[in-house]
Amino acid sequence: MSQATIKSFFKSPHFAVVGATPDPNKYGHKVFAWYLSHSLPVTGINPRTPTVLTHETLASLKDLADPKGPLVSFITLPQAT
């Protein structure tokens, strides 16, 4: 992946993490926390968890105000992905 591709990715106005979880041992938590720690606008997506790191999550990408807007990181079990 080129530096230009990476820079382009992080210029997105919004991000979403499918699989965001409050469990600090799971990658869904680590990825969501990374976005937050870098002050990037991110929404957690998890139908079973209403909040992660004090941020409200949504049940589905369809629940986003603009479902086609954010760049999405999918952090789910292989069988779910």
Class of domain 3-74 (CATH, top level): alpha beta
- pLDDT recorded at residue 5: 83
- pLDDT recorded at residue 24: 96
Instruction: Say what the pTM is.
Output: 0.85
- pLDDT recorded at residue 55: 97
Q: What is the DSSP pairing of strand 55-58 with strand 71-74? A: unpaired
Per-residue pLDDT of the chain (81 residues; tens, 9 = 90+): 788 888 887 778 899 999 999 999 999 999 999 999 999 999 999 999 999 999 999 999 999 988 778 889 999 777 776
| C-beta separation of 15 from 73 below 8 A | yes
